[in-house]
Amino acid sequence: MGIGIKELIVILVIVMLVFGTKKIRGIGSDVGGWIRDFKKALKDGQEEGQADVADSKRVIEGEAVVTGEKKNG
């Protein structure tokens, strides 16, 4: 058992009556911005994680990560 389409429509109508369409648009816009920011943060975190892995590989291979030059010796 779950919520059917009829129940969803009734809930939507009640929400529209309580909050009004302008308020709902504003909430939708805010939620969209939050989702966009969250996806951007995930993407940035993945790129940072990949850079950390690449730095770790360079350290293992004997390269200087800070300067980007190989160590002699």
For 10-23, how does the pLDDT look when each residue is reduced to its tens digit (9 = 90+)? 998 998 898 888 88
pLDDT at 65: 53
For 17-62, how does the pLDDT look when each residue is reduced to its tens digit (9 = 90+)? 988 888 888 888 899 999 999 999 888 877 777 777 777 777 677 6
User: Confidence class of residue 63 from pLDDT cuts 50, 70 and 90?
Assistant: low
Contact 40, 33 (CB under 8 A): no
In the numeric block, the tokens 């690449």 are attached to: 54
pLDDT at 72: 55
